Structure 1
Amino acid sequence: MTTKPLDDAALDQLFRTARTYNGYTDQPVSEAELRAIWDLMKMGPTSANQMPARLVWCVSDEAKAKLAAAASEGNRPKILAAPVSVVIGMDTDFHEHLPELFPHADARSWFVGNEALRNESAFRNSSLQGGYFILAARALGLDTGPMSGFDAKQVEAAFFADQPTVRANFISTLGHGDPATIFARSPRPAFEKFNRLA
């Protein structure tokens, strides 16, 4: 299969004109759309197909209230008002699933007894998956508002109490963005500022 560059409309939707939204319209987000996001984002590459991300899609008022209670004061109203708010967690015992997810080698053995390596890999690869979540949502015509600004331990207690090896990475709102809620775009540096050819 030969890949070709996406056209400008697709590049705009994914990157150039896409924005981080602080608020959304009243248009709902369906469970089918959430599943469609997952079905796209799960195809993104992770090291040895680790796929450590564990998502909680907060669609009920009760779930959003629990998440908002763990968030900073500025983030609480965004979480409560969004059609969906999402917890992107990471399972530090992801290696237990590698016999199924990466059957080409005994990848599980690489991580047994090495908690530091598992933590590092879980953080790196769940962050990658979080990026895929944002791009998948944009590709499907939805908008996101990724954020830090929350008490990770409180989020874990509220949503992962039954999964003690899962830690919170970041959270995001999700919906159809309201253009009135975005700021002027912040600067983006030229290639030469932060890149070099070696």
Structure 2
Amino acid sequence: DKTLAAPVTVIIATDSRFYEHLPTMFPAYDAKPMFEANAELAASTAFRNGTLQGGYLIVAARALGLDCGPMSGFDAGKLNATFFPDGRCQANFLCNLGIGDPASLHPRGRRLSFEEACQIA
């Protein structure tokens, strides 16, 4: 229901062939062959970097005063078939963007302290 009511729902997805754009986006050296030759490295890098980019999107949206509703728990197979039928991109998570009704927003949950969340070795 919240997704249907949201003004915008963003699909944060990973491009399985992101490395095809490396000559333009990362010209420092030719990293493309490294990913072309290693599907596991390409998949883990795409997932990690796509997740980070989704986090940056949320930070930017919140800086603009928007409420964000990132979520998992959707039918990724159906979503990918609908929006990415060629299989190149795969959905990671969704994020509703808009201005929430203050009466229906949950208060911010407790955050772990540094000592609870981090370990320095």
TM score, norm. by length of structure 2: 0.94
Q: Runs ≥4 in structure 1, deviation > 4 angstroms?
A: none
Matched, 1:154 2:78: yes
% identical equivalent positions: 53
TM score, norm. by length of structure 1: 0.59
Root-mean-square deviation (CA, aligned residues, Å) is 1.1
- In 2, Cα distance between the equivalents of 1:83 and 1:184? 21
- In 2, Cα distance between the equivalents of 1:143 and 1:184? 13
> In structure 1, what is the equivalent of residue 92 of structure 2?
169
Q: Any idea what SS the aligned residue of 1:95 has?
A: helix
Matched, 1:122 2:21: no
Bigger relative contact order, structure 1 or 2 (CA pairs below 8 A, ≥6 apart): 2
Q: How many residues align?
A: 121
| Deviation sequence 1:26-55 (CA, Å, 0-9, x none) | xxxxxxxxxxxxxxxxxxxxxxxxxxxxxx
Alignment of 1:1-198 (within 5 A): 77-161=1-85, 163-198=86-121
Name whichever structure is richer in strand by fraction: 2
How far is 1:141 from its partner? Answer: 1.6
How far is 1:112 from its partner? Answer: 1.1
How far is 1:88 from its partner? Answer: 0.7
| Deviation sequence 1:63-95 (CA, Å, 0-9, x none) | xxxxxxxxxxxxxx0111011111111101000
Which stretches in structure 2 are left out of the alignment for 5+ residues?
none
Q: Any idea what SS the aligned residue of 1:177 has?
A: coil
Code of the residue aligned with 1:104 in structure 2: it is A
Which stretches in structure 1 are left out of the alignment for 5+ residues?
1-76
Q: Any idea what SS the aligned residue of 1:134 has?
A: helix
Code of the residue aligned with 1:170 in structure 2: it is F
- In 1, Cα distance between the equivalents of 2:7 and 2:96? 8
How far is 1:149 from its partner? Answer: 1.0
- Comparing 101-110 with 186-195, greater Cα deviation is found at 186-195
How far is 1:192 from its partner? Answer: 1.2
